[in-house]
Amino acid sequence: MNVLVVTSEAAPFAKTGGLGDVLGALPRYLRKLGHDVRVFLPFYSSIDTKKGTFSPVGDPFPIVLGPHRYVVRIVTVDTHPGTFFVHCPELYARGSLYTNDLDEHRRFLVLGWAALIAAQHMRFAPDVLHCNDWQCGLLPLTLKVAFGWDRLFANTKTLLSIHNLNYQGVFPASTIGDTNLASSAHLFHQDQLHHPHGGRINYMLHGLLYAGIVSTVSPTYAREIQSEEHGAGLDPFLRARRSTVVGILNGVDYDEWSPEKDTLIPHRYSAADLSGKALDKEALVTALGLPYVPGVPVLGIVSRMASQKGFDLLGPILGNLLVKWGFQLAVLGSGESRLEQMFEGFRRRFPKQVGFYRGFSNPLAHLIEAGSDIFLMPSRYEPCGLNQMYSLRYGTVPIVHRTGGLADTVRPWNPYAANDAMDPRRAGNGFVFDHHDSRGLEWAIEMALGTFKHRPSWDRLVQNGMAEDFSWERQAALYVDLYQRIPG
């Protein structure tokens, strides 16, 4: 199949979170299955141009969005065939991937238009246009209305993958001219467009209305977003099309994320020989300026600091837990300042126990996965989550809230099954709490720390986690299956 993928992130070029990992890996695994997959993303100024030799494809061309005119150039890179960048410094030379600037909608409209025009230039007839998140929300409608005349797209079906329903891309109705779809304004959601208190256009919603299939990144999240609690206001639309809403769990790129192959950690190790893990733990603790004391458990966090991730639950309990149990905590992340300040506060109060690196660091993310004993992910909601799956592979036992992809990947520790010689996997691979409050999290942390002291149980947990297989090989095949089922 020919697949045209449009995304705002793809590792190793542009990544703020899991979207980058997924779009860096899935297309590669689809290509391994024999498909022609072409990925389009913006040429952000932050892209490391040492990652290959970048060269232009074809001539620059203009994209006119209402009164705004841009000239874009398609660029490719020799190290990643099939990856195409939309070069337009006026839009993408900013301090961050995402902005609150007034032209934010146009930054991603241009991305979609450029991908479709580039497909025309390349005579690339996609069987599937694979859209991701709100940034591609208007793309299925754009394809129908503005590119429907071109027979190149006669067989193009559309898929919208939701990686996070809470980011919807909502812009004033007055920007409809920028979409070039104003003459089809009747195809927009009318109540919202003409809302008396200020009309608006919700990009994610229009993706839900017009994509052939809507997918999301775990089966549980696919169900959850059809409920009022997790639907972020869009649940009625998802319920209305429930037979075409599916969940496919993200995969893990084990070439990047496994302790046997990881080139970013000082000591490699495997399930059969964990001695390297102990050395990585020492390296981690030392790197964060903490004293290394063998036997002291290390808890790890690698995360965007957003309310989604649930770290506010730690506020009332972490101090007491640190005193009572004496563990160490390694935190990496940045985002909302109240959360950064909370971790900074704990670091000051417990300088020998808490290390906090505020920022983004891929090598440190790998070292925390390898060097920690326990990984914390108390997410309020989590469409899939990758770090808990990485943790499992690194023998780092995850503590998670039972939600979304966390519920689909972490199976609660069951001591009664630990000695089941027939099926040791039944004992579980982590700790799961149900009630999203501080007491729920505290219960799970204490349960984990208690179990950590009992070596045979802990070994069972570590081995069960390391034996899990969430590889992209399997998940990519599910996407192929889905591509083939998209209604016209």
Q: Helix, strand, coil: what percent of the chain each, to 5?
A: 45, 20, 35
How far, in Å, CA of 451 to CA of 445, rounded?
10
* Residue 250 or 429 having the CB closest to ligand GLC: 250
User: Which entry of ligand GLC, ligand ADP, none binds 217, CB below 5 to 8 A by partner kind?
Assistant: ligand GLC
Residue 297 as a binder of ligand GLC (CB under 6 A): the answer is no
Q: Are 6 and 136 in contact (CB under 8 A)?
A: yes
Distances (CA, A) of 299 to 173, 183, 369, 440: 47, 56, 10, 17
Amino acid at 97: L
Measured between alpha carbons, how far is 157 from 174 in angstroms, rounded to an integer? 29
Which of 158, 202, 250, 409 binds ligand GLC (CB under 6 A)? It is 250
Could you give the CA distance from residue 124 to residue 424 in angstroms, rounded to a whole number?
50
Q: Which residue is nearest to ligand ADP (CB)?
A: 18
Other CB atoms within a 10 A radius of the CB of residue 288 amount to 22
Site residues for ligand ADP, 3-22, by CB under 6 A, read: 17-19, 21
Q: Which helix (H) or strand (E) holds 190?
A: helix 190-193
Is residue 361 classed as helix, strand or coil in its secondary structure?
coil
Residue 6 or 176: which CB sits closer to ligand GLC? 6
Specify whether the CB–CB gap between 285 and 371 falls below 8 A. yes
Q: Closest separation between CB of residue 389 and ligand ADP, Å? A: 8
Residue 418 contact among ligand ADP, ligand GLC, none, beta carbon within 5 to 8 Å by kind: none
Partner interacting with residue 142 (select from ligand GLC, ligand ADP, none; CB below 5-8 Å by kind)? none
Helix (H, G, I), strand (E, B) or coil at 115: helix
> Which long-range contacts link 220-223 to residues 24+ away (Cβ below 8 Å)?
220/247, 220/403, 220/404, 220/405, 220/407, 220/408, 221/247, 221/381, 221/382, 221/383, 221/384, 221/404, 221/405, 222/246, 222/247, 223/247
Q: What gap in Å lies between CA 153 and CA 224, rounded to an integer?
A: 33
Alpha carbon 137 to its chain's center: 17
Helix, coil or strand: residue 314: helix
When the beta carbons of 180 and 396 are compared against ligand ADP, the nearer one is 396
Q: How far is the CB of 376 from ligand GLC (least distance, A)?
A: 15
From 18-26, 173-181, 340-348, 421-429, span contacting ligand GLC (CB under 6 A)? 18-26
Query: Binding residues for ligand ADP, how many (CB under 6 A)?
Result: 18
Is the preceding omega at residue 297 within 30 degrees of 0, hence cis?
Answer: no
> 3-state DSSP call for residue 239?
helix
Binding mask 316-355 for ligand ADP (x = CB under 6 A): ----------------xxx---------------------
Shortest distance in whole angstroms from residue 390 CB to ligand ADP? 7
Query: Does residue 387 touch ligand ADP according to CB under 6 A?
Result: yes
Least CB distance to ligand ADP at residue 342 (A): 15
- The residue from 160, 313, 386, 432 that contacts ligand ADP (CB under 6 A) is 386
User: Which positions ≥6 away from 434 have C-beta within 8 Å?
Assistant: 401, 402, 440
- Asked if 54 interacts with ligand ADP (CB under 6 A), we say no
- The rounded distance, in Å, linking the Cα atoms of 361 and 8 is 20
Using the rule CB under 6 A, give the single segment among 12-20, 81-89, 359-367, 395-403 that binds ligand GLC. 12-20
From ligand ADP, ligand GLC, none, which one binds at residue 387 (CB under 5 to 8 Å depending on kind)? ligand ADP
Q: How far is the CB of 133 from ligand ADP (least distance, A)?
A: 11
Sole window of 176-184, 207-215, 299-307, 336-344 interacting with ligand ADP (rule: CB under 6 A)? 299-307
- Judged by beta carbon distances under 5 to 8 A according to partner kind, the member of ligand ADP, ligand GLC, none in contact with residue 178 is none
Report if residue 388 touches ligand GLC, rule: CB under 6 A: no
Element (H, E) at 132: strand 128-132
Residue 210-229 contact track with ligand GLC, rule CB under 6 A, x = bound: -------x------------
- Site for ligand GLC contains 386 (CB under 6 A): yes
Which residue is it, tokens 């004033």? Answer: 172
Residues that contact ligand GLC, how many (by CB under 6 A) = 14
* Contacts with ligand GLC, 323-362, as mask; x by CB under 6 A: ----------------------------------------
Q: Binding to ligand GLC by residue 164, rule CB under 6 A?
A: yes
CB of 256 to ligand ADP, least distance (A): 9
Minimum CB distance to ligand GLC, residue 83 (Å): 18
Give strand pairing partners of 376: 399
Q: How far is the CB of 252 from ligand GLC (least distance, A)?
A: 11
DSSP-derived letter for residue 236 is H
Q: Are 97 and 45 in contact (CB under 8 A)?
A: no
Integer CA distances (angstroms), 281 to 135, 303, 357, in order: 39, 19, 16
Which residues would be at the binding site for ligand GLC (CB under 6 A)? 17-19, 22, 163-164, 217, 250, 382-386, 405
Which residues would be at the binding site for ligand ADP (CB under 6 A)? 17-19, 21, 302-304, 332-334, 360-362, 365, 384-387
